[in-house]
Amino acid sequence: MTAASPPSPPKTTLHCSNCGHESAADGDWVVHERFDATSYGCPDCGVEITRRRRFDRPPVVASATTAAEAWTEAWTQSCVGWARLWRRLLA
């Protein structure tokens, strides 16, 4: 048994439990982009089918990480500068 040719990933089918409307996840659902999630509404009856967390775009975490990296970089550069100064003074 090999995994050389895996089958194409199955298309997720969503269906409305209220009216029975059925379509692929990227089908004709009414998509609402929210701050932290994407919600799918039924085009027939308007009921919200599902809601997905938006892991692809965590704005707060991303900027915090960038800030931390910038701070670490600045701190490292600062340490190198002080070390050089010390060496010059001690020499």
By the criterion CB under 5 A, which residues form the site for Zn ion?
A: 16, 18-19, 21, 42, 44-45
Strand partners, 78: none
**Residue owning tokens 């775009």:** 57
Q: How far is the CB of 57 from Zn ion (least distance, A)?
A: 28
Query: Which residue's CB is nearer to Zn ion, number 44 or number 73?
Result: 44
Minimum distance, C-beta of residue 64 to Zn ion, in the bound complex (Å):
40
* Closer residue to Zn ion (CB): 2 or 17: 17
Q: Which is nearer to Zn ion, 27 or 54 (CB)?
A: 27
Q: How many CB atoms lie within 10 A of CB 40?
A: 21
As a whole number of angstroms, the distance between CA 28 and CA 22 comes to 9
Q: How far is the CB of 15 from Zn ion (least distance, A)?
A: 9
The whole-angstrom separation of Cα 68 and Cα 91 is 34
